[in-house]
Structures are given as structure tokens and as C-alpha cells.
Amino acid sequence: MKALKKKIFFIIGIVVIGMLILVNPLGAGLVQESSEEMEVEIQDVQLLMITSNNSFLLYESEELQNLAHDIPTFPTKTYSSLNEVVADREVEIVYICDNKVLDSLNASDISTLSNMAEQGVFMGILGDGTHMREVLGIADADDYTNTDEENIIFFTYGKPDGDREDLFLSLENSPTIGQLLNLLFEWVNEILEKHQELSSSHGAWDADYTHEWKGNMDGGSYRFLVNVYKLNTERTDYDWYLVDVSYQSAITDYKKSGSRCGWFTSAMNLEANVDSSNGASLYEYMPTGTISNSTQSFTIGANLSAKPGLSASYSHSYNTPDVTIEDKSNYITNTAKWDVSFVGPDYIWYPFYKQPCNVARNSYETQPAFIVQVPKNQRMKVYLHPHIEHENDSLTYYFFFIKVKKQLCWWTSSTLTINVGP
């Protein structure tokens, strides 16, 4: 973990971000003196501030610009639950007022925040962040505690390689809200720029191909992203290609009533078939086995020979809250395959029935990957078969039994062909 510390020293009365922005949005702009003005690009950035277990304030566009310039403003939008937020927006930054607010959130909210942090959302809180890291399960071996908890705002970001990068903002000498936000946005932009640069390569893996499919479907939307990298190696017998797939299901029309439960995500499956006609084969893949209700990390490529000074290892962590990822791959048939299922509704005690799990009725993303070995200077061809399924249940009660009529909608393609190489 790389800890980035920035101290702010300005001659202005004491300001605590959780008090001025979160408790009284209009009061955030009352202190407007500044010895330095920073212009930081914040377009398309969304900042969610959590002030209690039923108060979620979203700032974006003009309202966020106003805060950055110490101009009084109301939130762009307010929500009464975190589920409403994730169904409506993809948030880049979350700020929690303090540990008391964090502890007031229910288990579903904590699970959602933990998943957001795992997926690369910037998470912040008043204090040194120790308690937040423990509650959200985002600590790593290099984390440490700063005892000056009242004069610090802490932010953390999970990098794609599984490490974390932290920011500590000092409240000594009373910075304004705008000054704090500009330093935060400057750091966020630095992180995102580095992330963008790194996305073109992963250690010894050089970017070779990328393509994204996304759109709307009944109940929500889908996104399917494929990145292909070629190993930088001096071997003369083989080449290796890393295929990294990220796919997401998002629900925007969930409803629970006596006659309806849905829409919710019921399945997210992927099958990848390697064309072996030129001697290509499936070399390695992840995740392996079955993962359910846990967070597990996997690494592939560790045994490959890259150019001196480079590592071919590629790692990823998989978080499965009420989700099961089942590995159905087969090296003999050169097939990498995963079935992703979710804890769905339980109607046994109808009309008091259990809803689908939180991620099924909101959003879930997973990122399987595999390596293909091909004879030197040969092309790699892979056939991908994604399947993202949404379900909507119509419920009818007949005296002693309930009839459930399932309406299904799915996004899938019979074949997405990835063909790269010389």
C-alpha cells in the first residue's frame, strides 16, 4: 500500500467536512476566503455523502462544482436508502460522516459499501479510517493507525492489482470545504490517470485488443468488456494471450409487492471456447472451483517466462455476497466456463416472503480471466458465449398454494469471436 499524505495549512476558522457539507449543505459555502485556488477537473464525478442510515446526499455536475468553489448549494439529489442510490447512479466517491453513522447502517448497506470498495469506488470517512477498514473488510497488511483521529479525513482506493492507495487530509489550521474537495479531486484524478495508463498493460502483458458491449434490457442494463493482452516474452516456441472479461448486470426496476417480485438478476454465465485448429490451447484460468459467500484471490501466469525484469503474474479478487461462482471449465475441450447464480426470493411464507439478495436486485460485476497458449506467431481465436439473465416473478395466491409465473429476459450472443495476433 502506498500512503499518500497531504497536509493543508490555511488561515481560516476550523471547518469539519462532516459538519458543514453533510449536516448543513447551505452552510458549506459560508467561509469563502482562500489564499489559493485550485482548478481540478471533476466532470462526470459523483460524490455520495452519507449522513445517517436514511440520508444519502448526492453531489454532481454544477452542485459539485459549487462546493469545490465554496458556493452554497443543495445536493443534486437526496435518497433515503443506499439501494436507491446504487439503482440510480454509478458513484465514484463515497464519504461517510463519521464512525457513528457507519455503525448505524444496516448489514445490507455495509455489504453494498464493501462491494463498492472492492470494485474501485473511493471511500472516505472523518478520522483515520481504521474502523471503516475493519467494518468494510478493506484492510491490507500495510495499513496503519494514525492516533490524531479528530484532525484527519481518510480516503482509500482499491487498485486493480489488489493493493490499496490512501489519502490523509489534515484539518489543522482550518481548511475550507472547497480546499479539501479540490485536494481530494486532484488525488482522485491522479489515481484514475495512473489506472488508465496501467490499463494498457499489466506487468509483462501488453494490450492487444479491447471491445465493450453494453445496453438496456428488461429490468435494467448489461455491460460486457473484453481486454486481450499479449505476453512480452523471449520464448521462440509459443506466444501467450491473456483474455480478461468484465461483465455486469444492473437492475433499475426492482419491486416487491403481493403480486410481484422483480426484476432481479438470476444468472450471469460465460463460456469461452478456444479454437485449437492451429495448435492453440487453454493454458490457465481463474477463478477455479466454487466460490460462495466469500472473498477469494487467484493468480494466473505465474509460471510463464516473461522478459527479464517483468512478471507474468496476473491476480484478481472475487467477492461473492449471496452469490455462487461455479467453475465448469475443461482443459480437454479447451473450454473456460463459469456459471454465476444468486440467492433468489423465497415464497414459503407468502405473503411474508424473502426478497432476492441485495446484489441480485441492484448490481453485480465479476471478472473472470484465462490465458491461451498458441504456437509462435500464430493467431488466437476465442469464441465467447455470455448470458446475463433478469427475472420478474408474478405471484398469484390460490387458497393453500401460490403460483409463481416467471418472466425472463436475457442478453446473450450465440458467438462473440475474438481474433487477435500476427
Residues 33 and 90 in one domain: yes
Q: Is-contact 123 94, C-beta < 8 A?
A: yes
Q: Please, which contacts does 341-346 make with residues 24 or more away whose CB atoms are closer than 8 Å?
A: 341/266, 341/267, 342/264, 342/265, 342/266, 342/267, 344/264, 344/266, 344/391, 345/261, 345/264, 345/393
Question: pLDDT (tens digit, 9 = 90+) per residue, 134-157?
Answer: 999 886 545 554 444 568 899 998
Q: How buried is residue 401: exposed, middle or buried, by Cβ count under 10 Å (0-12/13-18/19+)?
A: exposed
* pLDDT in 10s for each residue of the chain, 422 residues: 444 444 333 322 233 344 344 433 333 333 333 333 334 455 568 899 999 888 999 998 889 988 888 898 899 999 999 988 988 888 889 999 999 999 999 998 998 898 888 778 899 999 888 899 899 988 654 555 444 456 889 999 876 545 678 888 888 778 888 888 988 988 888 777 665 554 556 678 988 888 888 888 899 988 898 999 999 999 999 999 999 999 999 999 898 888 889 899 999 999 999 999 999 999 999 999 999 999 999 999 999 988 888 889 999 999 999 999 999 999 999 999 999 999 999 888 888 889 999 999 999 999 999 999 999 999 999 999 999 999 999 887 776 667 788 888 888 766 789 999 87
Residue finishing a domain among 171, 198, 225: 198
Cell of 291: 466460490
> CA–CA separation, 152 vs 3, rounded Å?
14
**What pLDDT shows up at residue 27?**
35
Residues 193 and 207 in one domain: no
**What pLDDT shows up at residue 413?**
60
**What pLDDT shows up at residue 403?**
75
Residue with cell 448489514: 107
Residues 157 and 214 in one domain: no
Residues 227 and 97 in one domain: no
Residues 194 and 206 in one domain: no
Residue 267 CB: number of other CB atoms within 10 A?
A: 18
Closest CA to 231 of 201, 197, 206, 202: 206
Radius of gyration of the chain (CA): 24
List the helix and strand counts (H, then E) for the chain.
7, 25
> CA–CA separation, 18 vs 110, rounded Å?
19
Residues 188 and 309 in one domain: no
Cell of 115: 462491494
Residues 123 and 164 in one domain: yes
Total of domains in the chain? 2
Residues 244 and 211 in one domain: yes
The helix (run of H) or strand (run of E) holding residue 83 is helix 82-88
Residues 76 and 93 in one domain: yes
**What pLDDT shows up at residue 162?**
54
**What pLDDT shows up at residue 149?**
56
Residues 246 and 183 in one domain: no
Enclosing domain of residue 275: 202-420
Residues 226 and 366 in one domain: yes
Question: pLDDT (tens digit, 9 = 90+) per residue, 152-190?
Answer: 899 998 765 456 788 888 887 788 888 889 889 888 887
Q: 58 in helix, strand or coil?
A: strand
**What pLDDT shows up at residue 212?**
82
Residues 252 and 286 in one domain: yes
**What pLDDT shows up at residue 373?**
97
Residue finishing a domain among 198, 230, 251: 198
Residue finishing a domain among 170, 198, 226: 198
Residue 230 sits in a domain of what CATH number? 2.70.240.10
Closest CA to 22 of 69, 89, 75, 91: 75
